């Protein structure tokens, strides 16, 4: 059977599902982020090397699930929301042309805990196919929706779910499918806490809501977050034929390796500069065309400096036209799901013409010498936006979105209410 030819038409986003510590649905999370809200707290029973209390932003699903056991219900919830948002009738979708790209996460290890005599919170039997398998959510969702197209789960650290979006777009472009569910979910797990604690990259503060402060002179490290995000991604013709509303076009999606160090970043930012240049070239855009950048912005000393240097090298004097923010300051670092969650925020910011703030940015580091939207966001009806991920292991990803301005099939900018 021959493969369909390479698709030349635009690849678009038609559905978004999102949940995080600040809300259990897309619009609640978005409103919290744009309003500068966060819900960080000390994590019970978790302490750092120096006996500091570990800070995180957890998700409350209303049921007694802890740690890694939240991942599957979170992914299911946001996938359902994305499918509803896309107004997708699965009975009308060719299952062989329906892909599923969901990022890796910490698998269920209760069986291992049980063998070691550790508390599991559950005395029953555990599904063997979920033990240590990071593709469990991907498999579950493909079964749930009957997706028989390409099913792919990447493990590329905190770039994983952004790679899911890139992979969905490429699979559609390559003719392997017409539509895909793409994203990821992750949770705060004691194993993750222990490993990052050993690296001494976790931030602490007397006030948990101030611990995460990207681009600030006093930043100390990143703060854990939990959540999930999913997208319905499809080729334009498929979307229009079924009457879908379109958030944005994926104008470019690129990935490169920074072959430097497992956790350290190249301070010259050469690979990041090259990556952004490739993304702009593929989209046929200039730096001055980009109105908003959702930065990786972890709040570690090295990441923020390297990312800022790369952005400045690419954008130069054009950076004055661009708003940059780090929304981990509101949601925390959501690990494998971070890229997709922040791309969802980017798409919603584009829909509403509002660039969200970077919280706790009271004393900007001079190396981050551009507009990081400190403390409060701003109305900004931008047409193009860039989402960056700079993950451990040297995984660099850039996804460039362009607003879908067609009034009949897209979203109009909300009216801006002027203060009395």
Domain for residue 30, yes or no? yes
β 378-379/248-257 pair status:
unpaired
**Which structural domain range is residue 45 located in?**
11-241
On whether both 260 and 236 belong to a single domain, the answer is no
Domain for residue 420, yes or no? no
50 to each of 46, 150, 171, 202, how far by Cα in Å? 12, 46, 46, 11
Which residue, chain included where needed, has tokens 């019970």? 44
The pLDDT assigned to 420 comes to 42
How far from chain centre, in Å, is Cα 266?
22
Both structure tokens of 131? 């033990």
Out of 220, 241, 262, pick the residue that ends a domain: 241
How far from chain centre, in Å, is Cα 407?
27
Domain for residue 418, yes or no? no
Which residue, chain included where needed, has tokens 């990207």? 214
On whether both 311 and 216 belong to a single domain, the answer is no
Domain for residue 4, yes or no? no
On whether both 275 and 175 belong to a single domain, the answer is no
On whether both 237 and 257 belong to a single domain, the answer is no
Residues lower than pLDDT 70 in the chain: 1-4, 45, 48-51, 66-68, 107, 109, 111, 118-131, 259-268, 417-420
On whether both 195 and 58 belong to a single domain, the answer is yes
Domain for residue 317, yes or no? yes
Domain for residue 417, yes or no? no
On whether both 385 and 270 belong to a single domain, the answer is yes
CATH number at residue 109: 3.40.47.10
Contacts of 270 (CB under 8 A, 6+ apart): none
Based on the structure, what is the number of domains in the chain? 2
The pLDDT assigned to 107 comes to 66
On whether both 227 and 265 belong to a single domain, the answer is no
Domain for residue 409, yes or no? no
The pLDDT assigned to 1 comes to 45
Just list the catalytic residues.
158, 296, 333
Domain for residue 143, yes or no? yes
pLDDT digits over 326-341, tens only? Answer: 999 999 999 999 999 9
Size (the chain), residues? 420
Is 53 exposed, middle or buried (CB count within 10 Å of its CB: 0-12, 13-18, 19+)? middle
On whether both 40 and 159 belong to a single domain, the answer is yes
On whether both 74 and 176 belong to a single domain, the answer is yes
Contacts of 97 (CB under 8 A, 6+ apart): 149, 177, 178, 179
CA–CA dist 214, 417 (Å, integer): 30
CB 74 within 8 A of CB 187: yes
On whether both 204 and 272 belong to a single domain, the answer is no
């Amino acid at each position: 059977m021959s493969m369909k030819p390479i698709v030349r038409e635009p690849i678009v986003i038609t559905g978004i599902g999102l949940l995080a510590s600040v809300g259990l649905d897309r619009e609640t999370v978005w409103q919290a982020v744009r309003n500068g809200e966060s819900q960080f707290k000390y994590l019970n029973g978790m302490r750092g090397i120096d006996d500091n209390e570990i800070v995180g932003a957890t998700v409350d699903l209303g049921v007694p699930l802890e740690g890694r056991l939240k991942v599957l219900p979170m992914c299911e919830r946001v996938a359902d929301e994305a499918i509803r948002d896309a107004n997708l009738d699965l009975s009308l979708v060719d299952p062989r042309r329906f892909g599923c790209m969901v990022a890796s996460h910490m698998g269920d290890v209760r069986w291992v805990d049980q063998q070691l005599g550790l508390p599991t919170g559950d005395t029953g039997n555990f599904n063997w196919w979920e033990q240590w398998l990071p593709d469990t959510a991907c498999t579950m969702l493909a079964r749930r929706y009957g997706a028989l197209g390409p099913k792919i789960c990447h493990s590329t650290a905190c770039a994983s779910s952004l790679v899911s979006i890139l992979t969905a777009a490429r699979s559609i472009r390559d003719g392997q499918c017409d539509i895909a569910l793409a994203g990821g979910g992750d949770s705060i797990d004691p194993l993750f806490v222990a490993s990052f604690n050993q690296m001494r990259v976790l931030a602490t503060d007397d006030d948990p809501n101030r611990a995460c402060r990207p681009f600030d002179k006093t930043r100390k490290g990143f703060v854990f977050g939990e959540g999930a995000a999913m997208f319905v991604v499809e080729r334009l013709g498929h979307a229009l034929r079924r009457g879908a509303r379109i958030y944005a076009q994926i104008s470019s999606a690129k990935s490169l390796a920074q072959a430097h160090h497992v956790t350290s970043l190249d301070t010259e930012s050469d690979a990041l500069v090259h990556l952004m240049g490739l993304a702009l070239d593929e989209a046929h855009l200039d730096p001055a065309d980009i109105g908003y950048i959702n930065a990786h912005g972890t709040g570690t000393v090295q990441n923020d400096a390297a990312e800022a240097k790369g952005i400045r090298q690419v954008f130069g004097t054009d950076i004055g036209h661009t708003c940059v923010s780090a929304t981990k300051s509101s949601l925390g670092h959501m690990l494998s799901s971070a890229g997709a969650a922040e791309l969802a925020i980017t798409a919603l910011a584009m829909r509403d013409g509002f660039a969200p703030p970077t919280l706790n940015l009271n004393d900007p580091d001079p190396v981050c010498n551009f507009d990081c939207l400190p403390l409060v966001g701003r109305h900004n009806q931008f047409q193009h936006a860039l989402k960056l991920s700079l993950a451990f292991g040297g995984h660099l990803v850039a996804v460039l979105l362009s607003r879908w301005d067609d009034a009949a099939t897209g979203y109009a900018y909300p009216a801006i209410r002027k203060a009395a």
